[in-house]
Amino acid sequence: MASAEGGLASLSHPPQETSREALQRELDDAIIRTAGSHRRDDALSVVHISPSDHSRVQSSILTSSIVSRTGLGALDRLPVELLLQALQHMDMQALFNLRRVNLRARQMIDSLKEYRAVVSHGLTAYCALLRMGLAAHVTLLDFYRVLCSQDCAFCGKFGGFVFLPSWIRCCFECIEEDPETRMVTVAEVRRVFRLSRAEVGRQRVCQTMPGLYRRRLYSTEKSYQRRRLRLLPWFPAMREFGDRLETKGVRARHWHRWDPAHNFMASCELPYYDSQIQAVEYGISCAGCEARTVEQDPGQASRPADVPWDRLFSRDNFLKHFKICRQAQKLWESSPEAALEAIIKRDVHHE
Ligand SMILES: [Zn+2]
Ligand SMILES: [Zn+2]
């Protein structure tokens, strides 16, 4: 796999690309700049980490200098290939710890293409896993596999986010609506199911990070959550302990204790990494569809049924959508860059 990727690394600007293909790529980029938009607000409604915080952790995640020069102990007796495999199957917390204490471990970990991709493109999610106490549940290979997937595991659309407790790629809509992303407080789950401490310990409990989060479903309003909460996903607990809910009164009490804002505290943005061309995509929404929806219904507070601009597209799918979206085409035609299209057509013709 490593050698295949090495060979494909040059594809981001392939030397064998014809001038026609290069012009088409340039045209596609211009269309995306004009008629596509990145819904930044969604990313800032869930777990996010400021760039200044990134630079603080980078010293230990990327370039730790506080290292001893001892070996790897028992691990050192393994052949290098086996050692690298063992590192790939280690969880992100163990890698973090190992990397901090040992120079040789740091060099070995940094030599893994999976690790380099994770710290280059998934640093926010990695920091969130570490700070929320979830890093021991995700191996390096799990992380890399989800980083390199692009579809929401719940609905199949482009998913620009990850649900941290189960480490599943998802879209923003599924963070709001899918039952699997429902988060509740530990205290609430203990109360409803009468859980022991040991039973709670087996769940994916996370400690939320202070920050700005969306307050309600389908609203752009945010508020600052200072207190760190202990949350866990509702449905795994429900599957395991649901039979304890037979008492009617208990069931009735629970459903009033779910705060939808908690869902936003357990997910963060995760771009899709295309390892073949070594490029990332955050998802593109259609500025044409968005403008039309706002025009039709400026005061919309709840999610309207099936509005197309709610969608995030991959690059390829956005370009397909553009071909059938009159509104997006109008934006493009009125943009200064549209002149590019005529130039490209002329040049390709004369080729
Ligand atoms: Zn989805
Ligand atoms: Zn559109």
Query: What is the structure's pLDDT at 2?
Result: 37
**What are the backbone angles phi and psi of residue 290, rounded to the nearest 5°?**
-65, -45
Query: What is the structure's pLDDT at 248?
Result: 57
Query: What is the structure's pLDDT at 101?
Result: 76
Query: What is the structure's pLDDT at 215?
Result: 86
Over residues 184-213, mean pLDDT: 92
CA of 35 to the centre of ligand 2 (A): 8
* Domain shared by 53 and 19, yes or no: no
* Domain shared by 225 and 291, yes or no: no
Q: In this structure, what token pair is assigned to residue 169?
A: 């790629």
Inter-helix orientation angle 19-35/315-324, to 10° = 80
CA of 348 to the centre of ligand 2 (A): 27
* Domain shared by 31 and 61, yes or no: no
* Domain shared by 343 and 286, yes or no: yes
At residue 89 the predicted structure's pLDDT band, cuts being 50, 70 and 90, is very high
Residue 233 predicted with pLDDT over 80: yes
CA of 15 to the centre of ligand 1 (A): 37
* Domain shared by 82 and 162, yes or no: yes
Q: pLDDT tens-digit profile of 262-294? A: 999 999 999 999 999 899 999 999 999 888 766
Query: What is the structure's pLDDT at 351?
Result: 57
Classify residue 304: in a domain, yes or no.
yes
* Domain shared by 194 and 241, yes or no: yes
Query: What is the structure's pLDDT at 100?
Result: 82
Classify residue 273: in a domain, yes or no.
no
User: What range does the domain containing 210 cover?
Assistant: 182-265
Classify residue 270: in a domain, yes or no.
no
* Domain shared by 167 and 201, yes or no: no
Classify residue 191: in a domain, yes or no.
yes
Q: In this structure, what token pair is assigned to residue 11?
A: 């594809």
Classify residue 271: in a domain, yes or no.
no
Model pTM? 0.83
Query: Burial level of 307, CB count in 10 A (0-12/13-18/19+)?
Result: middle
* Domain shared by 194 and 207, yes or no: yes
Query: What is the structure's pLDDT at 220?
Result: 82
* Domain shared by 142 and 202, yes or no: no
* Domain shared by 202 and 119, yes or no: no
* Domain shared by 10 and 114, yes or no: no
Query: What is the structure's pLDDT at 11?
Result: 41
State the DSSP string of 12-40: GS-TT--HHHHHHHHHHHHHHHHHEE--H
Classify residue 72: in a domain, yes or no.
yes
Query: What is the structure's pLDDT at 312?
Result: 86
Classify residue 274: in a domain, yes or no.
no
CA of 97 to the centre of ligand 1 (A): 33
CA of 147 to the centre of ligand 1 (A): 16
Per the structure, how many domains does the chain have? 3
Cα dist. 159→122, 124, 272, 328 in Å? 14, 16, 8, 22
* Domain shared by 202 and 255, yes or no: yes
State the DSSP string of 171-237: -HHHHHH-GGG-EEEHHHHHHHHT--HHHHHTS--EEPPPEEEE-STT---EEEE-S--EEEEHHHH
